[in-house]
Amino acid sequence: ARPPREAASHHKTIKSPPVSNGTPTSHHHGASPADLEAQASSNLAMVDAVRALVYKVGIPSPAVAAAAVNPHSDKFIGVRLKQSGFGSVIKKNHSEINLGIYETAEEAARAYDMAALFCQGDRAKVNFSDSLHLYDQNFSMDLKLPSQPYPTRDKDFYTQLFEQSTPPSKAGSVLTDLADRLPYSSVMSTSLDIWEDFSRKNEAIETWSDFAKQLAWLVRHQILPEVLTPGWDSDTWESNCNACETGHEAGRLLREAEEGGVDWQKVGRLWDSEA
């Protein structure tokens, strides 16, 4: 999927970041399937490494943030406000690459800086004055997020989010968060476009039926069967998703998927194998 996680294993620092000359992901201009696949793989690796570095170095100090580019604007370069947080986006080869959604604008801006330095080297225009130094000292394509065991939901989580007056649109971020806890090796598609579209649809959810269908698509049609709990009746669960109309039902279906459907121990082992 598209994950926030990280543990550094091998630190092979890139002092002179390569300037990408790969094939655009959106405007193909006759590129071969092999070229497109290689470019997609390169983009995925960059996104994961950028996420890991943001996790490692953190947000800038108040002084650095105050001196950021566009000091008279509340906008950072490469940052877009989303319903579920702050999106970080960079343009590469005439197409956009989604670097993920972060809790703060500063984190999203840091992610943009790291990706810009990777793609453009020291020619990149960045948000923070310390980004180049941090990139040179820490960036590595081998950098990984640490594996994160799936946290136990508070007993009131489902009631508060799904059974009270919360509009369905507020619950879409839960689906994006669920996808972010899955390593690429646990899902069928590793296309950034697929997961960007999934996130956009989550932000546009209007009904509990929409929520349940998005949930069913993720769990039933993207998570690999070997990562699901043996014996779990996924067919019946998916049928219930397709018939879902209320927040109460949506919460129950999410809980069934999280607590009975996904085998989080297997997910954790996959994270460890990617580190």
Q: What is the pTM of this model?
A: 0.53
What would the DSSP string read from start to end of the chain? -----EE-------SSPPPP----SS--TT--HHHHHHHHHHHHHHHHHHHHHHHHH-SPPHHHHHT-SSTTSS--TTEEEETTEEEEEEEETTEEEEEEEESSHHHHHHHHHHHHHHHHGGG---S-TTHHHHHHHH--TT-EEPP-PPPPPPTTHHIIIIISS--GGGGHHHHHHHHHTS-GGGBS---HHHHHHHHHHHHT--SHHHHHHHHHHHHHHTB-GGGBPTT--HHHHHHHHHH--SHHHHHHHHHHIIIIIB-HHHHHHHHHHH-
* Averaged pLDDT for residues 179-200: 84
Pairing relationship of beta strands 144-145 and 85-92 according to DSSP bridges: unpaired
The reported pLDDT for the residue numbered 257 is 93
Confidence label for 71 from pLDDT (cuts 50, 70 and 90): low
What is the per-residue pLDDT for 229?
93
Please say if the pLDDT value at position 242 is more than 90. yes
Evaluate if residue 133 carries a pLDDT over 70. Answer: yes
Report which residue type is found at 147: S
- The pLDDT-based confidence of 120 (bands split at 50, 70, 90) is confident
| CB contact at 8 A, 58 and 85 | no
Q: Is the pLDDT of residue 210 over 90?
A: yes
Q: According to the model, what pLDDT value does residue 18 have?
A: 30
What is the reported pLDDT for 66?
82
Over pLDDT 70: what percentage of the chain? 72
Given this model, what pLDDT does residue 144 score?
60
CA angle, corner 44, sides to 64 and 41, nearest 5?
145
Most confidently modeled range among 31-40, 71-80, 192-201: 192-201
Q: What is the pLDDT of residues 20-52, one digit of tens each?
A: 333 333 334 444 555 545 555 567 778 888 888
**How much is the average pLDDT of 48-58?**
83
pLDDT band for position 148 (cuts 50, 70, 90): low
Q: Which is more confidently placed, 183 or 201?
A: 201
Mean pLDDT of all residues in 206-235: 94
Highest mean pLDDT among 131-140, 199-208, 236-245: 236-245
Which structural domains are found in the chain, ordered by start?
A: 6-145 (3.30.730.10), 157-274 (no CATH)
Q: With a cut of 70, say whether residue 171 has pLDDT above it.
A: yes
